Amino acid sequence: MRRSNRLLVLETVKNSGPISRADLSRMTGLTKSTISEIVSFFIKTGVLKEVGTKSSYGVGRRGILVDINSEDFLVIGYDIGTLNSRVILTNLRGEILRKKVFRTLQGEDNLVDQVGRKISEVAKDVWDKIVEIGFGISGMVDHKSGVVIHSPNLDLKEFPLLRILSKRIKKRMTIEHNVKLMMIAEREYGNAKGYSNVLLVNIGPGIGASFVSEGHLIRGSHNFSGEIGHISIVPDGELCRCGKKGCLETVSAAWGIVREYTKKIGETWSDIYGADKVAERAENGDKDALEVFQNAGKYLGKVLAYAANILDPEMILISGGLSNSWNLMESAFKAEFETNTIPPLKGKIKIVMSNLGEFSTALGASTIAIEDFVKSVCS
């Protein structure tokens, strides 16, 4: 009960601060004495600080305001992406103070070295204030052990990332699947805020999904939920990187779009993720390029209709780099989605684009780092 009350107070201050103790009591339903005890505890730890006073109900009394200490406690959110990685420095409110984007290095040793260097760069001059680091990565992750079970696009298998990093980075660390982090960020800061049943789909170098049901993130028994990119949807389709044939990624992920297009035109491209080039050609009237994008939208629409029939979401949120080319897929997507959803759901599910941009995974990583730190303080 004490831990729950502390978490409640800290979350309330984070969302509504600066705030007086009296208002905290009113908003949380906790007694004034309980609030006073909890606030005193957090002030001693440094997580909260007194920031001034305000008049109280016009009778001359002034309440002392408390707020999150946004200067002395900082976290890092690190998105290990297939092509590009992104790292941000935030305060405990999730406000981004610094950010970096760079090409992801391939190979286990190179990747670990890069992570160490980039964390040092973004935390320059504030290392002593860093209380936790959150990581996001594509693929299947055991978030409890910190092991990357399988990341096909990064060619990692049974890779104990956090254990290796802990030998050189002496900070608390946590890790999660990148698309689950996108959902966490969307629920906290984006278009999913206020919704209880949301399906988020990330379309980029790969395709993954995350689902919130009645406000709770669905992980599955092994934290592998959401791997819709590896649903076999194309009969007698191409070989996928997972080892199966005809997966959604073979036609609707960036690498699948490039492969389908170059096969059509008889070219070989070194940039296997260059779907933006295919999109540019489609925008300029290339019928083959447009057909490939329409095909990608069609199969994505069919798979998401199946998912909607099972999950019954209020909203489907589209995120990731390929969402920038949504206009090329939208008509085919909607036609297939409407055809394959059950009649009671037709016209009832919102299809919405993410508004958080390329740092959504990093922001989600920062959010779970904040949450983990807060829980450690409240224990």
Q: Tokens 């209880």 appear where?
A: 196
Residue 365 is predicted with a pLDDT of 97
Do 74-183+360-378 and 193-355 agree at the fold level? yes
This model's pTM is above 0.75: yes
Residue 116 is predicted with a pLDDT of 95
Closest C-alpha among 264, 321, 318 to residue 290? 264
Q: Judge residue 212's burial from the number of C-beta atoms within 10 Å of its C-beta, 0-12 exposed, 13-18 middle, 19 or more buried.
A: buried
Q: What is the mean pLDDT of the chain?
A: 93
Please report the DSSP string for 187-246 in residue order.
Answer: HHHSTTTT-SSEEEEEESSSEEEEEEETTEE---TTS-TT-GGGSB-STT-PBPTTS-BS
* Beta-carbon count within 10 A of 109 CB: 9
Residue 55 is predicted with a pLDDT of 60
* Percent of the chain whose pLDDT exceeds 70: 98
Break the chain into its structural domains and give their ranges: 2-68, 74-183+360-378, 193-355
The 3 state secondary structure assigned to 101-120 is EEECCCCHHHHHHHHHHHHH
My answer on whether omega of the bond before 18 falls inside 30° of 0, hence cis, is yes
Residue 58 is predicted with a pLDDT of 52
The per-residue pLDDT string of the chain (379 residues; one tens digit each, 9 = 90 and over) reads: 888 999 999 889 988 889 999 999 999 999 999 999 999 999 999 999 998 887 655 555 567 899 999 889 999 999 999 899 999 999 999 999 999 999 999 999 999 999 999 999 999 999 999 999 999 998 889 988 999 999 888 989 999 999 999 999 999 999 999 999 999 999 999 999 999 999 999 999 999 999 999 999 998 888 888 999 999 999 999 999 888 999 999 999 999 999 999 999 999 999 999 999 999 999 999 999 999 999 999 999 999 999 999 999 999 999 999 999 999 999 999 999 999 999 999 999 999 999 998 999 999 999 999 999 988 988 7
Determine the CATH number of domain 2-68: 1.10.10.10
* Beta-carbon count within 10 A of 33 CB: 9
Q: In CATH, which of 3.60.15.10, 3.30.420.40, 1.10.8.420, 3.40.50.720 is domain 74-183+360-378?
A: 3.30.420.40
Q: Distance from CA of residue 350 to its chain's centroid? A: 20
- Alpha carbon separation from 262 to 179, 217, 268, 346 (Å, rounded): 28, 38, 6, 36
* Beta-carbon count within 10 A of 15 CB: 12
- Domain 193-355 -> CATH class: alpha beta
